Amino acid sequence: MVHIYFQDDTEAHKWLQFVSVHPLGAELHSYIQFISEKGIVVTLEERHLVDIHRLLSDVFYTFLIEEKLRDGLEQTIREKFLFEEQEEVDAILDIASSIVEGEMKADSSKEFKEAKAAIAEAIQVVLIEEKSFSFESIAMFRLKEFFEYLEHYAGLAIDEYKLEQDYQSFIATLRDFLNKRQSQLPIIHLVHQESFAFFDESFRKLEKEDFQRMMDRRLLGGYPIYIDSTALAPLISIAPERLYVYTDEAEDGLIQTIRRVFEERTVIRPVQSFRGTHS
């Protein structure tokens, strides 16, 4: 018989939920008993030891990923990187969780494989010696390196978070610049294929001298983030009241930036619709 301790009944019930959805859960549930305020008691029978080992190993690994990983990441973000604002912590946690999820789907992280193996090894010892234990004891003695490695994921998430903050600040600055600028043309048709082509409201193609006349040179320097000079800087300089963007790559990074800067002024259409309009 093995006794598994938890921090409280709520945590024990969460663990039992993972048991219930495991392929062996229905077959072995009669050997697993919940006792309020005392945790879980697992009855061992020789003929079921292999299956019980697999069940417990899998469930504790899932418990680690689903219940303990986010807590560990949050602790790292707060204690190692000294973030305090809950909104910032939550945003970084979401990014870190996405990174971790990607690693797990790609099955490329040796840290997760080692954690799974360490849990399986710890459970094997417990079953052989019939010792009582808790997840915290496994974490302390078997998963120390894994929890230390969470600093790596937290660091990646923080870098991505800071880049996103810089990007949002950049967009806000350009939006403010645009809103203060007098419109040079009421409508621009922007065709995006291998490059960008500009047309006015009469579908006349804008030439180099047109851009030279309307370009605001302040947009070409003085910003910490590079401002694209092929489309973004000319568009903000022209400041059209309405912007029609014809593209078959609506998720392209520059197209998305244009869309965020121009907001409700922007209409996205497929390239074919420009050909139809212009014919």
Candidates 161, 151, 163; CA nearest to 79 is: 151
Candidates 14, 145, 1, 150; CA nearest to 73 is: 150
**pLDDT tens, position by position, 108-121:** 678 899 999 999 99
Secondary structure of residue 16 in the 3-state scheme: helix
pLDDT at residue 268, rounded to an integer? 96
Which residue(s) pair with 199 in the sheet? 189, 205
| Average confidence score pLDDT of the chain | 91
- The structural domains of the chain, with segments of one domain joined by +, span 2-172, 181-278
pLDDT tier, 244 (very low <50, low <70, confident <90, very high otherwise):
very high
pTM: 0.76
